[in-house]
Amino acid sequence: MNASQEIQPILEIKDLKKSFGDKHVLNGFNLKLFEGENLVVMGKSGSGKSVMVKCLVGLMQADSGIIRIKEQDIEILGRSELDLLRTHIGFLFQGSALYDSMTVRENLEFPLRRHKKKLQMKENTETLVREALKNVGLEHTLDLMPSELSGGMQRRVALARALILKPEIILYDEPTTGLDPITSKEIIQLMRSIQDTYNTSSLIITHDVDCARVISNRMILLVDGINYAEGTFQELSSSDDPQVKAFFKN
């Protein structure tokens, strides 16, 4: 295959570096996410997974490296171009991060108010909100406050909010953290069905081995600030490398 025929990743991170003082968190991390795949990044607590995601979405400035989304280098984009590019990405951050003082409906309307026009979405807001909630099985919560929902329901509403702009890429940072095992399973199933329905490409940050087993098409292990090992769950979980093995033993 020549270079022009090579499949381009929908999202790419090249040689990403980030330090805090003399604490080197990312030391040249690389990642390619291809269309339609579920890529899991696993790393120990404090290994820099959230730092990587924050650099990716521009919440944090990397020291160096290249981040490319849909073949556009985010460094060279202006503010409004970057804003538009970001609407192609849905986030589900650690915890649910719903706005406590807003109803479920208002939480879902929030991203629409900001971006709907730019995206030239024709459906009315009410339709989009109802559809998004229906996708996560929570239509009846429209006028409730987040505090009236269980942890699992809050996570599902957050997922509905992440999906409302119909993004091509979804980033999940620890989607199952803080949930009981049964609720975790529900969220993982929901993530799978969303990918089937919308053919989204997902980057899933987790340290949950069960989540990785169920959801990943491919995995990257983040160790010492680099992409230490890559492969399928099968390949990595049967590796002889002690650093890799450590991730899979319980």
Ligand X SMILES: Nc1ncnc2c1ncn2[C@@H]1O[C@H](COP(=O)(O)OP(=O)(O)O)[C@@H](O)[C@H]1O
Which residues in this chain contact ligand X in the complex, by CB under 6 A? 20, 25, 43, 45-51
The region that residue 85 occupies, defined by phi over 0 for left and psi between -120 and 50 for alpha, beta otherwise, is alpha
| 153 or 205: CB nearest ligand X | 205
Q: Which is nearer to Mg ion, 164 or 172 (CB)?
A: 172
Residue 173 Cβ vs Mg ion, minimum distance, rounded to whole Å: 6
Give the span between the Cα atoms of 217 and 37, in whole angstroms. 6
User: In terms of CB distance, is 13 or 128 closer to Mg ion?
Assistant: 13
Q: Which is nearer to ligand X, 18 or 32 (CB)?
A: 18
Structure tokens at 204: 């899933």
User: Shortest approach of ligand X to residue 174 CB, angstroms?
Assistant: 7
Q: Which does 128 bind (CB under 5 to 8 A by kind): Mg ion, ligand X, none?
A: none
CB 67 within 8 A of CB 74: yes
Instruction: Quote the least distance from Cβ 59 to Mg ion, whole Å.
Output: 12
Judged by beta carbon distances under 5 to 8 A according to partner kind, the member of ligand X, Mg ion, none in contact with residue 20 is ligand X
Q: How far is the CB of 224 from ligand X (least distance, A)?
A: 12
Give 49 or 116: the residue with its C-beta nearer to Mg ion: 49
CB of 95 to ligand X, least distance (A): 12
Residue 194's alpha-carbon distances to 106, 125, 146, 209, in angstroms, are 22, 20, 22, 20
Q: Name the burial class of residue 218, with classes exposed (0-12), middle (13-18) and buried (19+) by CB atoms within 10 angstroms of its CB.
A: middle
Residue 77 per-residue DSSP state: -
For residue 206, what are the β-bridge partners?
Answer: 42
| Interacting residues with Mg ion (CB under 5 A) | 49-50
Q: Which does 25 bind (CB under 5 to 8 A by kind): Mg ion, ligand X, none?
A: ligand X
Regarding beta strands 89-92 and 38-43, do their DSSP bridges make them parallel or antiparallel, or are they unpaired? unpaired
